[in-house]
Structure 1
Amino acid sequence: MEATELARLQFALLAAVHFLFVLLTLGLGPVVAIFNTRWVRAREHRLLVFENATRFWGQLYLVNYALGIAAGIVLELQFGLHFPGLLDVAGEVFGAPLAVETLVAFFLESTLLGLWVFGWHLFPRALHAGIFWAVVLTGYASAFAVMVANGFLRNPLGYVLEGPPDAQVARITDVGALVTNPAALLSGLHVVGACLMAGGFVLVGVSAWHLRRTGSGFRLPTGPDEDLWRHSMRAGIWTGVFGVLLTHGFGYAQFAYYDTDSLDGNAAIAVLFGLMVMIANLTMLAALVLPFLLIGGAMFRMRGRRALYVLLTVLLPLPFVVALMGWLVRELSRQPWIIQGVLRVDEATSDQSSRAVLASLVLLVGLMVTLAVLDWWVLGRLARAGTSRLVLGAAAADVLREDDAGADVLLRFSDAPGPGAAR
């Protein structure tokens, strides 16, 4: 493969894997915020349920968020490595929204998240929940800034090329046109729907796995844990339904500016697009049926519900697969342009050798895949553990367990009187 092809392949793989982190972070955020708010407003008999729901789903959010940061850094390395022409020509236009995302939304979001994590026992519960709502809003603002940058690549607006023909530079002439670009607005709302759909599927899948392990009779099992999984199942279904509606509505709306001719010229893209639409339509049908099973708690009492729980657990990865298909169709159909009609990919790539690009591809993609595998391994362990080992929001002494090596010694040592206690 030529260096340009290897650089394209590296970008496609890194962007695709990184997008998995984004889907789960933005999908779980609103759900954690809602559970946190319900914990603030809950009556005494519901306090433990919503506190545990906030802590459990908040743990998954934090693990995915932390590893997603590392994955994002890996993704940004490649622009300077292999696409210097993009920054030379459109650094001001393409880089401006990314700078906003990094300097404002990203750092503000991280700071607020730190306050939420370490202020668990310091702030009033209402203020604590409000902080996390701010985390969610800044997270979505960060994602929109990225979609503004990506929308410019797809449908360049609000700019002008200046300078000699062989060294032209893009300058922003209309910030409003750049921000309200339909490739940014419609695609951004489409991505929001995809994230909510993914978050909903995760809630439904994990809750179904735990509900399947409870009793098989018609009497509804009681207890804080069972109540938590039923609330999570309801939240997941409604989140997924809302996400599916957004995804479908704004997905089809993109056809107004989408170049469908590219689908005819590439069989692989056409197959991906058709498969993506078919799965998305099946997901839409499921979204129309599942809410009816919540009426009167029918899902939790019906015959064959354990088989339904198995199916819902198995379908957990589906929105991530569909999202990857959509992202590949969106990016591959723009080729050979890196900025549609303005700059070709081969004009923007560096003059490095194929061997150098291949080395960076193996290193960076290997690192990104390692982060993704580690992320899903940790998330899987936390999801299976349920509420038995909640660390987020726990007092320091509650984190230690007698079954840990040396934990009992640490506990006895912490209870021992210090020097001068006798006096």
Structure 2
Amino acid sequence: MDVLDLARTQFAVTGGLHFLFVVLTLGMAPLVAIMHTRWALTGGPRHEAMTRFWGQIYVINYALGIVTGLVMEFQFGLAWSGLSHYAGDVFGAPLAMETLVAFFLESTFLGLWIFGWGRLPRWLHLACIWLVTLTAYASAFFIMMANSFLQNPAGAVARGGRLELVDFGALLTNKALVFSFPHVVAAGLFTGGTVLIGASAYQLRRRTEHQDFFARSMRLGVVTAAIGIVFTMGFGYAQFAGVQEGKFDNTGAALGLALMMEIGQLLGLVVLLFLLPVIRWLPRWRWTHPLLIAMTPLPFVLAIAGWVAREVGRQPWMIWGRLTVADALSPGLTPGMVAASLAGFAGVLGLLAVVDYVLIARVIRRGPRDLDLGAGAPGETRAPALSF
């Protein structure tokens, strides 16, 4: 592989691994917020236990995902300085906003939520997790704004060999953004719902003592997954109206698109035609639980296939019609340099993905007992899930 192919592979691997964390974060945040809202309204131990259990899974995924996101920032300076030089004034603005939102606001509100358990007033504590959710979506919005500019460089003109922003409103209404952002949000909801289904199926198949806890979680997951897959497919198909001519002539993009559509349609049929109609009885049908567990990784595969279709289809352009990938590459790079950084980044991010899976799987196997989230709260009972 030459240096360009290595650099493209590096960004694809690190970007794909990072997005595995992102899509689950976008799906779990509103679910935890809904659970916390129920707890704030009712004060019941069942809703507290659900908030703490699924909230702990969210926190694990978020914490490790932040580290993987840091690697993405290095990519532009190390391998793609041509992009920064040519379009940094436009492309960098939404990335800067995302950094402010994600690393400052979102993490601040999440820290208040984690350490404010039993210390903050009830409604202020609830507001923190909703602000976490809103800032997570704002972060995704700015990332999609930047990516959509690469797909369709609206609102910018070339002056002096560089792009300058002349219409910020055009960035906000970019035809590559208006459907892709809700598509990504819906995919996150589908992923979060599917994780709830799979984890609950695992516990229910083991005949856990917390039958009602995981039965409720499974039903919530089915409803969320149904909503998510409907809007994922709807906004996904809506994007075809604005696709550039010839974008999916690329073999890799066509394969990613075909895989995404086939998996999406299959999962849509399963959730809408088989799971949703029997949602009341599904927790008791143990014969379905291995299938539900096996279904859990598929939304992640679907998400990666979607990104492959979206990004590979833009080749050979870094910015469609304006800047090629070859021109965006940093000068002076050698295959050895990029191969070394690729191995390092992929190794670190791959390890973080494994650690994320192991820690989440450990929490799921243990169930809603001896949770760390909220353990230091004044008057905390340590295992509220056992009290109902």
Alignment deviations for residues 328-360 of structure 1 (CA, whole Å, 9 cap, x no partner): 111011011000000001101112111111111
1:411 maps to which residue? none
Whether the 8 Å contact between 2:314 and 2:320 is mirrored in structure 1 is yes
Which runs of no fewer than 5 residues in structure 1 stay unpaired?
Answer: 216-222, 402-423
The reply on whether 1:315 has 2:295 as its aligned counterpart is yes
Shift of 1:400: 9.3
1:254 maps to which residue? 239
> Matched residues in 2 for 1:286 and 1:400: separation?
38
Shift of 1:399: 9.9
Aligned-residue identity in percent: 49
Q: Secondary structure at the match of 2:158?
A: strand
2:259 maps to which residue? 275
- Map 1:336-355 onto structure 2 (within 5 A): 336-351=316-331, 352-355=333-336
Whether the 8 Å contact between 2:371 and 2:382 is mirrored in structure 1 is no
> Matched residues in 1 for 2:363 and 2:380: separation?
17
Q: Secondary structure at the match of 2:163?
A: strand
The reply on whether 1:187 has 2:180 as its aligned counterpart is yes
> Which one-letter code corresponds to 2:356 in the other structure?
D
Alignment deviations for residues 287-309 of structure 1 (CA, whole Å, 9 cap, x no partner): 21212112xx22234xxx11201
The reply on whether 1:300 has 2:283 as its aligned counterpart is yes
Q: 1:230 to 1:344 in 2, by over 3 A?
A: same
Q: Secondary structure at the match of 1:214?
A: coil
Shift of 1:27: 0.5
2:213 maps to which residue? 228
Q: TM-score, normalised by structure 2?
A: 0.94
Alignment deviations for residues 56-112 of structure 1 (CA, whole Å, 9 cap, x no partner): 000010011010110000111111000000000000110000101112343111111
> Matched residues in 1 for 2:120 and 2:256: separation?
49
- Map 1:125-136 onto structure 2 (within 5 A): 125-136=122-133
Shift of 1:322: 0.8
1:333 maps to which residue? 313
RMSD: 1.7
> Which one-letter code corresponds to 1:72 in the other structure?
G
Number of residues paired by the alignment?
Answer: 380
> Matched residues in 1 for 2:221 and 2:245: separation?
34
> Matched residues in 1 for 2:213 and 2:256: separation?
38
1:49 maps to which residue? 46
Q: 1:49 to 1:263 in 2, by over 3 A?
A: same
Alignment deviations for residues 122-181 of structure 1 (CA, whole Å, 9 cap, x no partner): 122222111110110011001100000000001110011111xxxx11111111111111
> Matched residues in 2 for 1:369 and 1:149: separation?
25
Alignment deviations for residues 301-327 of structure 1 (CA, whole Å, 9 cap, x no partner): 4xxx11201110111000000110110
The reply on whether 1:357 has 2:338 as its aligned counterpart is yes
> Matched residues in 2 for 1:143 and 1:76: separation?
15
Q: Secondary structure at the match of 1:183?
A: coil
> Which one-letter code corresponds to 1:280 in the other structure?
G
> Matched residues in 2 for 1:83 and 1:66: separation?
27
> Matched residues in 2 for 1:207 and 1:327: separation?
28
Shift of 1:260: 5.6
1:38 maps to which residue? 38
Q: 1:229 to 1:92 in 2, by over 3 A?
A: same
Q: Secondary structure at the match of 1:362?
A: helix
Whether the 8 Å contact between 2:155 and 2:169 is mirrored in structure 1 is yes
Larger Rg: 1
> Matched residues in 2 for 1:5 and 1:300: separation?
48
> Which one-letter code corresponds to 1:112 in the other structure?
F
> Matched residues in 1 for 2:219 and 2:40: separation?
19
2:354 maps to which residue? 373
The reply on whether 1:214 has 2:207 as its aligned counterpart is yes
The reply on whether 1:284 has 2:264 as its aligned counterpart is no
> Which one-letter code corresponds to 2:20 in the other structure?
L
Whether the 8 Å contact between 2:252 and 2:309 is mirrored in structure 1 is no
